[in-house]
């Protein structure tokens, strides 16, 4: 496989923030008198666009608009986002790929401003040629931003490898025509990821071993 560029997802893939996502959503569920969820339940139901995920949790957007609830979630999340660490060996794999001479970018459904702040905080800006996020915090889809990124890279899509942790990452990669592999340490259970037919790894050591033999 001729990989000439790797495009990383951020939340869940590089950043170990799944527990924060559960903590923040449970604050809202309690506030709106809805049943709270466990981490295990979260991994089975989280999806994009996140408005559908919220609906599955019981939020009634006829009573309280998604723009309000979504903003409340982000307020809870951002209040704690600097307390969250990257996954074990995340920085090591970025450095390893960089040393192989393979350029890397970051593509996220998170707001651009948040991404820029977190890239600086974790001191990883140096590894990415592009950090591409959304202009809002509602996490609808990163497909259009992904298409713009691939156009900017000016490479055949099949030479681009997407690395993510959700079914949405698969959808984006498929729509663009890029390869995609998945990490099961993020926001989606291993079984759900495996059902896509893509390569699924439990951690960065497995991914590095796979990458080294390609």
Tens digits of per-residue pLDDT, 148-205? 888 888 899 999 999 999 999 999 999 999 999 999 999 999 999 999 999 999 999 9
pLDDT higher than threshold 60 for residue 139:
no
Mean pLDDT value across the chain: 93
Reported confidence tier of residue 75, pLDDT bands at 50, 70, 90: very high
pTM, to two decimals = 0.93
The pLDDT of residue 136 is 54
* C-alpha to C-alpha distances, 148 to 1, 93, 134, 142, 143, nearest whole angstrom: 23, 25, 12, 10, 9
The conformation of residue 87, written as its DSSP 8-state character, comes to P
The pLDDT of residue 147 is 86
Reported confidence tier of residue 138, pLDDT bands at 50, 70, 90: very low
**Residues in contact with 123: Cβ distance below 8 Å, sequence separation at least 6, in sequence order:** none
Contact predicate 172/196, CB 8 Å: no
Q: What is the mean pLDDT of residues 13-19?
A: 98
CA 37 to chain centre: 20
Between 40-44, 107-111, 119-123, the lowest mean confidence (pLDDT) is in: 107-111
pLDDT higher than threshold 50 for residue 122:
yes
The conformation of residue 79, written as its DSSP 8-state character, comes to T
Contact predicate 90/106, CB 8 Å: no
The pLDDT of residue 144 is 84
């Amino acid at each position: 496989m001729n990989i000439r560029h790797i495009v990383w997802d951020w939340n869940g893939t590089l950043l170990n923030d799944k527990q924060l996502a559960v903590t923040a959503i449970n604050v809202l569920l309690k506030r709106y008198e809805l049943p709270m969820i466990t981490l295990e339940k979260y991994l089975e139901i989280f999806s994009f666009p996140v408005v559908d995920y919220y609906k599955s949790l019981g939020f009634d957007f006829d009573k309280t608009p998604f723009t309000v609830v979504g903003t409340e979630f982000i307020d809870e999340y951002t209040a704690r986002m600097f307390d969250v660490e990257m996954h074990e060996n995340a920085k090591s794999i970025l450095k390893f790929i960089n040393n192989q001479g393979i350029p890397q970018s970051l593509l996220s459904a998170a707001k651009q401003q948040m991404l820029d702040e977190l890239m600086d905080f974790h001191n990883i800006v140096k590894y990415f040629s592009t950090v591409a996020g959304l202009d809002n915090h509602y996490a609808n889809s990163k497909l259009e931003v992904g298409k713009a990124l691939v156009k900017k890279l000016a490479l055949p899509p099949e030479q681009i490898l997407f690395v993510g942790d959700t079914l949405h990452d698969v959808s984006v990669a498929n729509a663009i025509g890029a390869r995609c592999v998945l990490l099961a340490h993020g926001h989606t259970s291993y079984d759900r990821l495996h059902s896509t037919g893509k390569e699924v790894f439990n951690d960065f050591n497995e991914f590095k071993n796979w990458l080294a033999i390609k």
